Amino acid sequence: MQYFVFILLLICSYLLGSIPTAYLLAKWAKGIDLRNYGSGNVGFTNLASSTSKWLAIPAFIFDVGKGALGIYVTRWLGLPLYMQGAVGIAAVIGHNWPVFLNFSAGRGVLTLVGAMLALEPKLAVFLVLLSFLGIPFHVLATTATISIFLATVMTWFSTTPVISWFFKAPLGDDKLTMTLIFFCLWLIIVIRRLTVPFSSYAREISRGELIINRFFLDRDIRNRELWLHRNSSSVMGKGEERQSK
């Protein structure tokens, strides 16, 4: 019975994660396909830059909630830690490869943050604040990647005096399980970044540079402004044409 409930939770968490919040908000509020605007990414950041920051707030809340809800339900049912982690991982996979958008959507960082908040709240808040250090320098993707990996390292050394403060309870025998959960969450984000379809810019650089750019910057090229607005000029005329009809 326990495993039946666990499988059901995995499916439900994946389907919840698959709900493309940013895409739906852009479609309902502005009548646009977010994949054709800005960076083309179906996520919170592109929604904020291509529509409005106010519209992105509910997307932010829902995407974080997608990662946390399944874990809370699994814990409430008394299921073990590895099942809680697997349910959170399923939500992130759903966000990145949603069944409702032909298995291609966002990067899953906010959903991952939700899962981390449900698993280890203080650690998650610390790592989010650490990631924010990259905002003034426009390298949030880089600091987020490093911070998520740092979470994996910290879970492994969770018994040390200073690091143990970031955990709600001593991990004890759960240390290995929690480390594997956090490592899988980080790995999913990295895999998603490296496997998105090639842009037209990818043909102009070496494969090595492309991998480095995607891994650290979450884009194919180093020029941030060009990347963020690469779809804007191609759809502007279409949007103006639709408004004139």
- Please check the confidence at residue 30 and state whether its pLDDT lies above 90: no
Q: What pLDDT score was predicted for residue 100?
A: 87
- Please check the confidence at residue 239 and state whether its pLDDT lies above 70: no
Sequence spans of domains, the chain: 2-196
- Please check the confidence at residue 88 and state whether its pLDDT lies above 80: yes
Of the listed ranges 36-50, 133-147, 198-212, the one predicted with least confidence: 36-50
Q: CA–CA separation, 233 vs 21, rounded Å?
A: 24
Enumerate residues 6+ apart whose C-beta is below 8 A from 241.
Answer: none
Q: What pLDDT score was predicted for residue 232?
A: 59
The average pLDDT across 55-82 equals 94
The average pLDDT across 29-56 equals 83
Exposed/middle/buried for residue 134 (C-beta within 10 Å: 0-12, 13-18, 19+)? middle
The reply to whether the predicted model has a pTM over 0.85 is yes
Q: CA–CA separation, 110 vs 44, rounded Å?
A: 8
Average pLDDT value over all residues in the chain:
87
Q: CA–CA separation, 195 vs 116, rounded Å?
A: 24
Of the listed ranges 60-69, 114-123, 184-193, 200-209, the one predicted with least confidence: 200-209
In order of 33, 81, 158, 206, the CA distances from 178 in angstroms are 38, 8, 10, 37
Helix residue ranges per DSSP H, 20-161: 21-30, 44-50, 53-76, 81-96, 109-119, 121-132, 140-156
Q: What pLDDT score was predicted for residue 99?
A: 92
User: Binning pLDDT at 50, 70 and 90, where does residue 240 land?
Assistant: very low
- Please check the confidence at residue 223 and state whether its pLDDT lies above 90: no
Enumerate residues 6+ apart whose C-beta is below 8 A from 45.
Answer: 39
User: Binning pLDDT at 50, 70 and 90, where does residue 182 land?
Assistant: very high
Q: What pLDDT score was predicted for residue 191?
A: 93
User: Binning pLDDT at 50, 70 and 90, where does residue 237 land?
Assistant: very low
